[in-house]
Structure 1
Amino acid sequence: MKRLPFLLTALIGLGLFGCSKTKTDEKMISTISREAFGELPDGQKADLYTLTNANGMTVNITNYGGIITKLTAPDKNGEWADVVLGFDSLPPYLAGHPFFGALVGRYGNRIAKGKFKLNDKEYTLAINNGPNALHGGTKGFDKQIWKATEINKDSIVGLELEYVSKDMEEGYPGTLSVKIVYTLDNENALNINYTATTDKETVVNLTNHSYFNLTGLKRDILDHEVSIMSDSIVAVDSTLIPTGKLRAVEGTPFDLRKPTKINLGINKIEDEQIKNGGGYDHCWVLKTSESGLVHFATVKDPESGRILEAFTTEPAVQFYTGNFLDGTLKGKNATYVKRFGFCLETEHYPDSPNQPQFPTTVLKPGDTYQTTTKYRFSAK
């Protein structure tokens, strides 16, 4: 896996993103607060942290699974609304959900048949998605209590989350020490910085699984206009495992290089890849840069004017359009029907441990896994 020591400089923006207070604006400050969020069956307690920037944007994060439970963004009239799917309380998260807002690990996305080899030794994972392993297993990082530390410095508020995944937890080798830092800046951007180290060679692919809906959770996302700066996707079979080949987007429903309404391509089931994913549930290959974050996607809701711009240092993104939501889950005054949210899960390619031609996800002792993703909100 490509190491990115320069990413520490990407978060120097922690001091640059902030707005200086003036004598006429002394009340406009960034804050962070904590409250009890509930208790797990084993007695562990979950907390909920509220990050608020100087503009009034708020992000709620719980140390249970590092889940983003709420994120507000302004529309073109300056009205704020929640734009992520989730729940108002802990019990629905404990009851099971499709990774709403969660930190995903140790390996985000799918691994074929729940098996991979490392140094000639085969490792077996939980099968939890058809015939394959998905998002770290039956009790992945999304179902753990993380150690939380509040950040409030230089006009930036944030939450540092730490978790130690023991050797062979969910079948993965090596004791993995993980640190995730969420920061909210005064450019209305949520920054997520991921780092990890291991004592034994392992595979790592971390991401956040937030479902966004820029209407303010009023209706589905089919009228959203999306652009993804990518020339190819990772082709997949009917179980969404990579075939090993990349497919050019030119002339296909996957060509989102210009702003395109989601509903124009998502139902073209005559395209085998769309049929396999039940819509968009594919990995777009991104152009990376040694200089840092790359702007890879923009999504806009034309009616509200809300815009999400996404940046990352990762080589790919899984663009998913809530194809498996079926209306059985309700939360925050909304019923989560099919295609009620979209995900931009920055990542390495799916099934990389079994695909030697893909960028490696192997992490070795002495190396540091490090990556950054940023979601910035605006309106016009």
Structure 2
Amino acid sequence: MTNKKTVSCTATTADENIYTLRNAQDMQLTISDRGASLVSWLAPDRYGRVGDVLLAYAEAGSYVQNPFYFGAIIGRWANRIAAGQFELDGRSYAVECNDGDNHLHGGSSGFHTARWLATEEDGSLRMSLTSPDGEGGFPGNLKVQVTYRLDDEGRLTIDYEAQSDAPTPINLTSHPYFNLNAGTSDIKDHLLCIDASHYLKIDAGCIPAELASVAGSAFDFRQPAPIGPRLDWPDQQVLIAGGFNHCYCVQAGLNGQPGPLREVASVYDPGSGRKLSVATDQAGLQFYSGNFLSGVAGRDAHDYARHDGFCLEAQAYPNQINGPHAEAVILRPGQVYRQTTVYRVSLQS
């Protein structure tokens, strides 16, 4: 089959430029240069009806602050840093505490609010950003590139690269919210599978407290299971988070180290026949069940409700910079941070 991947700038406003990736199957993915955010992913269901599998704001202007991080690249630190503090090479650093007593997703002016520079290259879209020394409290001038490629099999490959002129913590992720029935109902009947034997239990502030086996718990998705019934399990960890907001350890060794690129999760919607597969080389996969979506103004004048979308965010472990495996998340001069995550949307018969 002739490859017909294309990328084009399809809309421009004062706040953002919108780019569209298309493949030979006429699948369309739109990306904003505001936060390098995934805004829309149009894909057919088993009946050929095209629907959007991503959640998005009702107004484009909402991406300027993007308080729910819809579709955005998150940095410099995805997830949480306990008490907004860490030590690096004997020096203490303080970053913004924007989630109670903790730091979350790079702070209120993290990468998700930045205007990225977009470059179209051979059917892919490269987004570039420079974060100056001291921005958000993080050390080092950090240069970041994120490249999006959509192939004819429905795979969106996200390649990350970063370099710094001083030692700095780094933990990047993409934060799309998916609903494979294109918003006709919530995600509770979606069948989730996560290839992980362990996850990180959290405290009341969603900071990892201990490594735990998934066996016999609500967190065991090693075999596909519907999300909805697990939300009602009398599991203390589910109660703490109001659902799922936990990191699964998806690489061998359980030590926060990246590993080979491999498929770590899949989600299937029986109604539409759509399937999402996730592959990554990262140590962690954060499963978030959309616990705080109530009242968010979404596309088509539709207010989202709790559990109307889910996230599977490939990343390092939350608060890893303050744990025994901190060195794995420190980028030093002369090194190159690299990460690859692949989301694939397809049909399952």
Give the TM-score, by structure 1 length: 0.87
Aligned 8 A contact 2:66 2:112 in 1: no
Aligned 8 A contact 2:65 2:113 in 1: no
Aligned 8 A contact 2:35 2:63 in 1: no
1:259 match: 224
Deviation (angstroms), 1:356: 1.6
1:280 aligns with 2:244: yes
**Which one of 241, 249, 273 corresponds to residue 207 of structure 2?**
241
Per the alignment, do residues 215 and 242 of structure 1 end up closer, same or farther by CA in structure 2, a change over 3 Å counting? same
2:19 match: 49
Matches within 5 A, 1:152-191: 152=122, 157-191=123-157
Aligned 8 A contact 2:58 2:297 in 1: no
Per the alignment, do residues 362 and 145 of structure 1 end up closer, same or farther by CA in structure 2, a change over 3 Å counting? same
In structure 1, what is the Cα distance between the partners aligned to 2:329 and 2:297? 33
Deviation (angstroms), 1:291: 8.1
Aligned 8 A contact 1:87 1:331 in 2: yes
1:346 match: 314
Deviation (angstroms), 1:272: 1.7
Identity %, equivalent residues: 38
Aligned 8 A contact 1:349 1:359 in 2: no
1:219 aligns with 2:169: no
1:9 match: none
2:341 match: 373
Q: Deviations over 1:307-326 (max 9, x none)?
A: 00110010110000100111
Aligned 8 A contact 2:140 2:165 in 1: yes
Which amino acid in structure 1 is aligned with residue 235 of structure 2? Answer: D
Aligned 8 A contact 2:36 2:116 in 1: yes
In structure 1, what is the Cα distance between the partners aligned to 2:60 and 2:107? 20
1:250 aligns with 2:232: no
Which amino acid in structure 2 is aligned with residue 257 of structure 1? Answer: R
Deviation (angstroms), 1:290: 8.7
Aligned 8 A contact 1:110 1:135 in 2: yes
1:305 match: 273
Per the alignment, do residues 187 and 86 of structure 1 end up closer, same or farther by CA in structure 2, a change over 3 Å counting? same
2:2 match: 20
Q: Deviations over 1:283-324 (max 9, x none)?
A: 000025998421000101111111001100101100001001
1:58 match: 28
In structure 2, what is the Cα distance between the partners aligned to 1:143 and 1:342? 21
Deviation (angstroms), 1:331: 2.0
Q: Deviations over 1:39-98 (max 9, x none)?
A: 24xxxxx21001110101000001110011101122112222110011364212235430
In structure 1, what is the Cα distance between the partners aligned to 2:300 and 2:327? 39
Matches within 5 A, 1:353-368: 353-357=321-325, 360-368=328-336
1:140 aligns with 2:104: no
1:30 aligns with 2:30: no
In structure 1, what is the Cα distance between the partners aligned to 2:5 and 2:119? 16
1:228 match: 194
Secondary structure in 2 aligned to 1:148?
Answer: strand
Deviation (angstroms), 1:328: 3.5
**Which one of 256, 263, 267 corresponds to residue 295 of structure 1?**
263
Aligned 8 A contact 1:127 1:137 in 2: yes
Per the alignment, do residues 359 and 72 of structure 1 end up closer, same or farther by CA in structure 2, a change over 3 Å counting? farther
Deviation (angstroms), 1:333: 4.5
Aligned 8 A contact 1:86 1:332 in 2: no
Aligned 8 A contact 2:251 2:259 in 1: no
In structure 1, what is the Cα distance between the partners aligned to 2:229 and 2:306? 16
Which consecutive unaligned segments of at least 5 residues does structure 1 have?
1-18, 22-28, 41-45
Secondary structure in 2 aligned to 1:303?
Answer: coil
Which consecutive unaligned segments of at least 5 residues does structure 2 have?
none
Q: Deviations over 1:148-170 (max 9, x none)?
A: 10123xxxx22100001000100
Which amino acid in structure 2 is aligned with residue 233 of structure 1? Answer: Y
Secondary structure in 2 aligned to 1:346?
Answer: strand
Q: Deviations over 1:138-183 (max 9, x none)?
A: 100011111110123xxxx221000010001000001110000000
Aligned 8 A contact 1:85 1:213 in 2: yes
Once superposed, which parts of structure 1, at least 4 consecutive aligned residues long, lie more than 3 Å away? 288-292
In structure 1, what is the Cα distance between the partners aligned to 2:10 and 2:43? 22
Secondary structure in 1 aligned to 2:231?
Answer: coil
Aligned 8 A contact 1:37 1:89 in 2: no
In structure 2, what is the Cα distance between the partners aligned to 1:250 and 1:105? 32
Count of residues in correspondence between the two structures: 344
Secondary structure in 2 aligned to 1:257?
Answer: coil
Q: Deviations over 1:82-138 (max 9, x none)?
A: 100113642122354300000000000000011111011111111111110000011
Which amino acid in structure 1 is aligned with residue 107 of structure 2? Answer: G
